[in-house]
């Protein structure tokens, strides 16, 4: 899952980004409204967290412009304004939820997860399944047959991405862009090492290997006949 965070305050942005990354999300941050508007237009995000008070383009105008362009990205509005009228304005502009600053990150995370479940329930399954491998997106659990597999947050995000693209080869660059929140460094072996750990848990003790290397290209998750 990939989040767009539009927040001009560096301290708040670092706090929120760190929390989402620890929860297994990839996060892109925009420091002003115009940058956030451009990023939302040009990259696929699962949800956006948008502050109202932004330089260059305020959050409400940003949301209104996205809605006028039929970009139905789920959006949580952040604001220091506590009045009911301000909340109504945020929701009428096209926001899906509203959270007042200061806030506990656990509440923001819960609201993001709830919003994702609500929006995905219309067109996406809550479980992914390839052969005997099952990933429960809502409960964040993974099973191979009847055996539960304990994964770290980043391993879960990597497996989810591979399963969403089951049968398709994904490159290291694609993995870095969707599972991590920074661009691919050709000198880094972070993808190889994490795929290796994931194989140890998902494939090693089970018949029928599912994660395969396509040399010179990337990886594919599928059952080989």
Run of H or E residues at 106: helix 105-120
pLDDT digits 0-9 by tens, 53-101: 899 999 899 999 999 888 888 999 988 766 666 667 767 778 888 888 8
Q: What is the pLDDT of residue 87?
A: 67
Give the separation between CA 77 and CA 95, rounded to whole angstroms. Answer: 6
Q: What is the pLDDT of residue 124?
A: 56
Give the separation between CA 17 and CA 15, rounded to whole angstroms. Answer: 6
Q: What is the pLDDT of residue 97?
A: 87
Mean pLDDT score of the chain, rounded to an integer? 85
Give the separation between CA 141 and CA 215, rounded to whole angstroms. Answer: 30
Q: Note whether 105 and 19 are within 8 A (CB).
A: yes
pLDDT digits 0-9 by tens, 154-191: 899 899 989 988 888 888 877 887 777 655 455 678 88
Task: Point out the least confidently predicted range of 7-11, 46-50, 93-97, 103-107.
Answer: 93-97
Q: What is the pLDDT of residue 150?
A: 94
3-state helix, strand, coil in the chain (%, to 5): 40, 20, 40
For residue 22 the two structure tokens come to: 């620890």
Average pLDDT over residues 5-25: 88
Flag whether the pTM goes above 0.85: no
Q: What is the pLDDT of residue 212?
A: 94
pLDDT digits 0-9 by tens, 103-146: 888 899 888 988 887 776 555 567 889 999 999 987 889 999 99
Which band of pLDDT confidence, cut at 50, 70 and 90, is reported for residue 37?
A: very high
Q: What is the pLDDT of residue 29?
A: 92
């Amino acid at each position: 899952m990939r989040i767009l965070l539009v927040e001009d305050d560096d301290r708040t942005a670092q706090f929120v980004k760190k929390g989402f990354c620890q929860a297994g999300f990839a996060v892109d941050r925009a420091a002003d409204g115009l940058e956030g508007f451009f990023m939302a237009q040009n990259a696929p995000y699962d949800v956006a967290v948008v502050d109202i008070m932004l330089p260059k383009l305020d959050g409400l105008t940003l949301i209104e412009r996205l809605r006028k362009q039929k970009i139905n990205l789920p959006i949580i509005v952040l604001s220091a304004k506590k009045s009911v009228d301000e909340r109504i304005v945020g929701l009428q502009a096209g926001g899906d939820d509203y959270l007042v600053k200061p806030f506990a990150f656990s509440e923001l995370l819960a609201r993001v997860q709830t919003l994702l479940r609500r929006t995905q329930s219309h067109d996406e399954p809550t479980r992914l399944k390839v052969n005997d491998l099952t990933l429960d997106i809502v409960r964040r659990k993974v099973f191979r047959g009847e055996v539960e597999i304990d994964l770290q947050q980043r391993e879960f995000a990597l497996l989810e991405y591979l399963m969403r693209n089951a049968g398709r080869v994904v490159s290291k660059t694609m993995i870095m862009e969707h599972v991590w929140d920074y661009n691919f460094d050709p000198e880094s072996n972070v993808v190889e090492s994490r795929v290796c750990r994931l194989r140890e848990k998902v494939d090693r003790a089970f018949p029928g290997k599912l994660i395969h290397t396509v040399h010179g290209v990337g990886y594919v998750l599928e059952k080989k006949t």
